[in-house]
Structure 1
């Protein structure tokens, strides 16, 4: 469920007409719903009721400070994967003891920044990283809390580019070597092992891979405890999918996911951390664009819009589907027409949909890309010297621009000309 619905013949974001925002802000732009963000966070929080837990929002999905602050004020922790994300989270008021630092390539500078500012834990991904973390923490006179990410060699049955739990993926240590690596960690004076970390991929629409991975983690917990390690925290990652195509069957609900967690690891008495990102932010955001031209081609028609692959790269990068709807509600029974929906960038990859059935649309009409809140604005670029598009947050009958569109002068003046030119 989201809070983007037709009212009085027009698409609304909560209690605000999307047409009003477009008139004020210009197109294209991203638009987020506070009510949807909070609803999705609370679904996860309630799914883990009865277990000691923390829901850490994976802020790589959408990292605007207004979104982070909205979730943090509701009680969320944050999962970060870079120093920039760590500093964003702190700037949004998230305390260090609610921030988990993931990622395979943490630098000494990033480690030092997190140790200075406060951190809940580092999710270690390799032995060289463990050695580096120990060295930095020791030089600072600190002890770093860590979980070690194990790779359970579980096929998540998702897109190859977002699968992370198979043996050929770059993430974590092989679960078969976990005892050896935990033994090494226990011998390091500036590291405190607090638990186990696992994450097998993104946009999973079946609980079976999760259950297999978490069962392996439960077995490993018993083994490591027998070896003398104090395993008191399990970071189970994120990855639960969202329904990008409304016509398809819905992915598992957070409530079912929580029941599966209880069934597989609930008996261990560990604090549970999960790191949802896409399911919290995905359906909480849309991208709004305007039709520039309707072009007739050889056997097909094109809707050329002012949004482009640099604004929303998921279709070009992952062949991803987004439902696309007109902002003005069509009359029931209106005959539909197939269009290729494309942007203005001079690449054939700048295509959002091919032969998508839509009601007839014309130059100037507004359209909305559903489920664009995750991995939309954060993956955008200024390719073709196109400005990053605004981000707008709605709360009830209010809206605010939370990232303005830069001017061309601001973009161009970031360049520095060498003195010899």
Structure 2
């Protein structure tokens, strides 16, 4: 795979039923299905490509933990020298446990609690990305109780259409994220009143799965204009966080991801002359194409109007198709040539929304066949649930012909471990 290209990521094919040198039939036979499998090689290559594209810049890549928060995946990020972009105290604990230094962690998100702010201050994170005036006051208050100073960046909402799905667009005026440039201007004008917050950064993130450079270019030029305005007004900046959002190939032959070098060129051009640190928050871009969800065909159901391919994986294992109507390529892991057939690919959960694909043409399938749902390394396991009392599936990391279980398959006993009969009744 090219060091800088997002278009050469590994793919499972019927003719090549292996992933990172591991035979997927043998893997599924040993560990069962459904099963998430991630390629360590693919993740390392994607990281290296982005690092190469950013060479010469004072830039820190902070992996967006929400994309895939498994400790082993975070360990790969730590080994490569990456930081972390977190949105909860739980993600903070995961990042630290995986060896990511607090000095390379930034805390984003619109709903940080006082306890989460306090935990982040205690850990010594690099900075907070602040989403509202109320949050700014909360950080000031909590930092004051510690006699500490919190580094903070204001997340500006540039009102830019990211040309992506409405549910993952975050940079429009109607979205819940960030504040207007006009409001951010007032924050800086009044920042001398802050005794425990050092407001010296800007942050922008316009959405996810972006496949066009123009939204990035427009957003960053608006950020750059504001940065220059702030400097002229006597407000120097220590950092500009350009967010994440780089898209990946979910649909072969249709999705054309942005080359890392082309993206870096837009950042360089828009922020030329900035002498502070640049922060980036890729998540999906680093891990999505490095993961597959292995699943077996349970049965073929012949409906009056549709033909259903029923899998042992379900919406609780991979929510993206149900939540976003997202496309994931699905391939049989079999070298045998078969005639084509058209299916609605569904899971066993009792919801009509438990559908991975509609009217999808695949090689004819039979019960017991092994399939690979591609592009499942991001927002797959991290969004999974135990809906319908289905235990969480196992995850494995593959690395040049070997594998390691990085989350064992949840047992029924583990799934209900925190539950108990209503016996210890108490008055509030």
| TM-score above 0.5 | yes
Instruction: Give the C-alpha shift of residue 48 in structure 1.
Output: 1.1
**Match of 2:83?**
77
**Match of 1:238?**
244
**2-side partners of 1:43 and 1:177: how far apart?**
37
**2-side partners of 1:408 and 1:27: how far apart?**
16
* Aligned mate of 2:386, from 369, 375, 382: 382
Q: Does structure 2 retain, via aligned residues, the 8 Å contact 1:4–1:11?
A: no
**2-side partners of 1:81 and 1:188: how far apart?**
23
* Aligned mate of 2:150, from 137, 144, 147: 144
- What is the 5 A alignment of 1:269-348? 269-331=275-337, 334-348=338-352
Q: State which drifts further: 186-195 or 72-81.
A: 186-195
**1-side partners of 2:13 and 2:210: how far apart?**
29
Structure 1 portions without partners, runs of 5+? none
**1-side partners of 2:305 and 2:144: how far apart?**
68
Q: Does structure 1 retain, via aligned residues, the 8 Å contact 2:13–2:331?
A: no
Deviations 1:52-76 (A, max 9, x none): 1001111100000000001111111
Q: Does structure 1 retain, via aligned residues, the 8 Å contact 2:318–2:381?
A: yes
* Aligned mate of 2:253, from 247, 260, 268: 247
**Match of 1:2?**
9
Q: Does structure 2 retain, via aligned residues, the 8 Å contact 1:90–1:96?
A: yes
SS at match of 2:134: helix
Paired positions, count: 418
Instruction: Give the C-alpha shift of residue 212 in structure 1.
Output: 0.5
Instruction: Give the C-alpha shift of residue 412 in structure 1.
Output: 2.7
TM-score by length of 2: 0.95
Instruction: Give the C-alpha shift of residue 2 in structure 1.
Output: 2.8
**Match of 1:39?**
45
Q: Does structure 2 retain, via aligned residues, the 8 Å contact 1:186–1:192?
A: no
* Aligned mate of 1:403, from 404, 407, 414: 407
Q: Does structure 1 retain, via aligned residues, the 8 Å contact 2:12–2:374?
A: no
Q: Does structure 1 retain, via aligned residues, the 8 Å contact 2:121–2:150?
A: yes
**1-side partners of 2:293 and 2:190: how far apart?**
48
**Match of 2:134?**
128
**2-side partners of 1:170 and 1:31: how far apart?**
34
| 1:188 aligned onto 2:194 | yes
**2-side partners of 1:251 and 1:10: how far apart?**
23
Instruction: Give the C-alpha shift of residue 4 in structure 1.
Output: 4.1
Q: Does structure 2 retain, via aligned residues, the 8 Å contact 1:193–1:230?
A: no
**Match of 2:180?**
174
Instruction: Give the C-alpha shift of residue 338 in structure 1.
Output: 0.4
When the two chains are superposed, the root-mean-square deviation of aligned CA atoms in Å is 1.4
**2-side partners of 1:226 and 1:352: how far apart?**
53
**Match of 1:156?**
162
**Match of 1:112?**
118
Q: Does structure 1 retain, via aligned residues, the 8 Å contact 2:300–2:367?
A: yes
| 1:19 aligned onto 2:25 | yes
| 1:209 aligned onto 2:222 | no
| 1:59 aligned onto 2:65 | yes
* Aligned mate of 2:374, from 358, 370, 373: 370
Instruction: Give the C-alpha shift of residue 10 in structure 1.
Output: 4.6
SS at match of 1:194: strand
**Match of 1:361?**
365
Instruction: Give the C-alpha shift of residue 6 in structure 1.
Output: 4.8
**Match of 2:3?**
none
Q: State which drifts further: 245-254 or 156-165.
A: 245-254
Deviations 1:185-207 (A, max 9, x none): 34201111231000111111111
- What is the 5 A alignment of 1:86-97? 86-97=92-103
**1-side partners of 2:368 and 2:352: how far apart?**
23
Instruction: Give the C-alpha shift of residue 141 in structure 1.
Output: 1.2
Q: Does structure 1 retain, via aligned residues, the 8 Å contact 2:344–2:358?
A: yes
**2-side partners of 1:296 and 1:278: how far apart?**
36
Q: State which drifts further: 34-43 or 181-190.
A: 181-190
SS at match of 1:151: coil
Deviations 1:139-178 (A, max 9, x none): 1011001111011111111111111111111111111222
Q: Does structure 2 retain, via aligned residues, the 8 Å contact 1:130–1:185?
A: no
